Amino acid sequence: AKRDGRGVVRVFDESMDENIRLRRAIEGGLSQAIAKGELSLVYQPIVGREAFEVVGFEALLRWNTEDHGPISPAVFIPIAEESNLIHELGDWVLAESLKVLAEWPGQYVSVNFSPRQFRRHNFVGRLVESVQHAGIDPRRVQIEITETAIFDDADRAADTLYKLRQMGFRIALDDFGTGYSSLYNIRKFALDCLKIDRSFIDGMGRERESAAIVHSIIHLGRALGLGVVAEGVETETQLQALRVAGCSHMQGYFFSRPVAQERAKEIAEARFIA
Ligand code: C2E
Ligand code: CA
Ligand code: CA
Ligand code: CA
């Protein structure tokens, strides 16, 4: 029994080691990714519910490594988030996504900020400096943050969002419904829209619970005068159900996958998705 116990411990240790090795490899690779030109952004259109007019694009980070091919942001962002690397990546993403705005006739770019980026010292000042440096109207920049970023220190977050909104930035609450938001608290935050997490859209046709959550978020958004963006719309059935429910905007493979800059420009110029 003793030997078995040790065996179990050893196997566990080895998989831990493997995990740590992998994290270190990713950290090491990421710290050079910018210099090696391995990062890029793709853009996914966000469309209005009636005419599918393209109102903006979400910028999504891609990392194509020389040695191991593409690695998903769902894997490397959380690792970057544990160190200051997230700031380096975030600065690159912001500067890069502000550049594409010049090519689009009027749409906004929606940029993801992790909780650590949002809480960084002088977050507002840095953003303002970036848009001024790029000569961009802040109204064409949407900041996507998650509930986790704002509910931990709600008063400070409310203050930050208020300042950003005063400067003209748009604010989206991302992955809404998956965090700890209290509906009571949501009023104190200066927001433009709620983004319904893809998991609820995915479950909508199968489970009454998901459909109920989607409906509640849409009602809440409307009651508070906020836009509501459904993420991960993949089918016509989902689209029709969301339309009936009164969802104002949609995003997902049904309309377009995230695309490279050149294609995003064509979509932006066409203004509508057929
Ligand atoms: P997110 O912000 O919730 O982004 C939406 C994710 O859903 C993206 O995955 C997008 O490609 C995917 N998606 C969009 N439409 C559909 C659909 O119809 N079906 C399916 N199955 N998926 C769809 P992606 O690009 O892999 O990004 C994953 C996460 O990584 C993002 O989730 C975000 O949390 C993070 N991330 C990506 N880029 C950045 C960035 O520049 N900065 C930060 N801080 N985080 C980022
Ligand atoms: Ca997002
Ligand atoms: Ca999201
Ligand atoms: Ca998500």
Is residue 5 exposed (0-12), middle (13-18) or buried (19+ Cβ within 10 Å)?
exposed
Rounded mean pLDDT of 146-167? 93
Cα separation of 78 and 114, whole Å? Answer: 9
The predicted structure's pLDDT at residue 2: 44
Residue 198 Cβ contacting ligand 1 at under 6 Å: yes
Is this complex's ipTM strictly greater than 0.90? yes
Q: What's the pLDDT score for residue 133?
A: 96
In short, whether 175's Cβ falls inside 6 Å of ligand 1 is yes
Residue scoring higher pLDDT (253 or 151):
253
The pLDDT tens digits for 195-214 are: 999 999 999 999 999 999 99
pTM: 0.94
* Average per-residue pLDDT for the chain: 93
Q: What percent of the chain has pLDDT over 90?
A: 82
Given a cut of 60, whether residue 181 has pLDDT beyond it is yes
Q: Please measure the distance between the N-terminal and C-terminal CA atoms of the chain and give it in whole angstroms.
A: 66
**CA 12 to ligand 2 center in whole angstroms:** 34
Rounded average pLDDT over 96-107: 97
C-alpha dihedral, 168 to 229 to 196 to 44, nearest 10°? -90
Q: pLDDT at residue 1 above 60? A: no
**What's the gap in Å between 193 CA and the centre of ligand 4?**
15
| Ligand 1 proximity of 258 Cβ (cutoff 6 Å) | yes
Does 93 sit in the ligand 1 pocket, CB within 6 Å?
Answer: yes
> Which residue among 195, 198, 257 is best mutated to probe the pocket of ligand 1, counting the most ligand atoms within 8 A of its Cβ?
198
Lowest mean pLDDT among 6-10, 39-43, 111-115, 155-159: 6-10
In terms of pLDDT, which residue wins out, 22 or 167?
Answer: 167
Closest ligand 1 atom to 93 CA: 41
Q: Is the pLDDT of residue 259 over 60?
A: yes
